[in-house]
């Protein structure tokens, strides 16, 4: 691929979004700094949901969760994912009127989901927060951004939320 072709073609920019402020900051930064108003870019908002296995183990008391609890938790996770994607979509509309936005919610380890989607969709730029996927999941999964930066083949933009923005929250 000639580098010079990159500006002329319609770029696919994938933004990994999660429940943390940092990924939403990364999305806003991308909308302000990467997407130009008259570009033909497609913005793909990807949310990787925790796989069911992440919350189907024994509860704190040593008992297995009941089927009712499981389906309630499934619904909670799906609703949360929908709300998250909707919020991200609205942020895109607020910042850039004519950008083409696609959304995807996939189940699995965010590290694998992001890398797979980047390859499958032929993404040109991956944008993500520096921590990715909140402190809770990160404690189990390690740094998602670090993993993706090492494994995807396209350029990766890692956006860190300035500390001043975290104050008072």
| C-beta closer to a copy of itself: residue 121 or 149 | 149
State yes or no: residue 7 binds a copy of itself (CB under 8 A).
yes
Beta carbon of residue 152, minimum distance to a copy of itself (angstroms, whole number): 8
Token readout for 150 is: 């090492």
Residues 12 to 41: which contact a copy of itself by CB under 8 A?
25-26, 28-29, 32-34, 36
Q: Tokens 């994912």 identify what position?
A: 81
Beta strands in the chain (DSSP E): 12-16, 42-49, 100-107, 125-129, 156-159
- By CB under 8 A, is residue 90 in contact with a copy of itself? no
Q: Which residue among 3, 57, 58, 167 contacts a copy of itself (CB under 8 A)?
A: 3
CB of 115 to a copy of itself, least distance (A): 13
Which residues share a beta bridge with 106? Answer: 48
Q: Among 164, 167, 168, 169, indicate the residue that binds a copy of itself (CB under 8 A).
A: 164
Could you give the CA distance from residue 7 to residue 98 in angstroms, rounded to a whole number?
17
Determine how many CB atoms are found less than 10 A away from the CB of residue 74: 14
81 burial class (0-12, 13-18, 19+ CB within 10 angstroms)? Answer: buried
- Selected binder of a copy of itself within 139, 150, 168, 169 (CB under 8 A): 150
Contact call for residue 133 and a copy of itself (CB under 8 A): no
Contact positions toward a copy of itself, by CB under 8 A?
1, 3-4, 6-7, 11, 25-26, 28-29, 32-34, 36, 125, 130, 145-146, 149-150, 152-160, 162-165
């Amino acid at each position: 691929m000639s580098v010079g072709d990159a500006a002329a073609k319609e770029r696919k920019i994938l933004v990994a979004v999660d429940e943390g402020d940092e990924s939403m900051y990364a999305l806003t930064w991308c909308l302000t700094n990467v997407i130009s108003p008259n570009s033909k870019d497609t913005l793909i908002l990807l949310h990787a949901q925790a796989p069911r296995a992440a919350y189907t183990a024994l509860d704190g008391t040593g008992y297995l969760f009941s089927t009712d609890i499981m389906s309630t938790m499934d619904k909670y996770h799906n609703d949360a994912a929908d709300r998250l994607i909707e919020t991200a979509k609205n942020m895109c509309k607020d910042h850039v009127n004519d950008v083409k936005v696609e959304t995807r919610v996939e189940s699995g380890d965010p590290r694998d989901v992001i890398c797979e989607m980047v390859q499958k969709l032929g993404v040109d730029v991956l944008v993500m927060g520096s921590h990715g996927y909140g402190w809770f999941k990160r404690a189990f999964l390690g740094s998602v951004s670090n993993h993706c930066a090492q494994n995807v083949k396209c350029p990766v933009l890692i956006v860190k939320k300035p500390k001043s923005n975290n104050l008072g929250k």
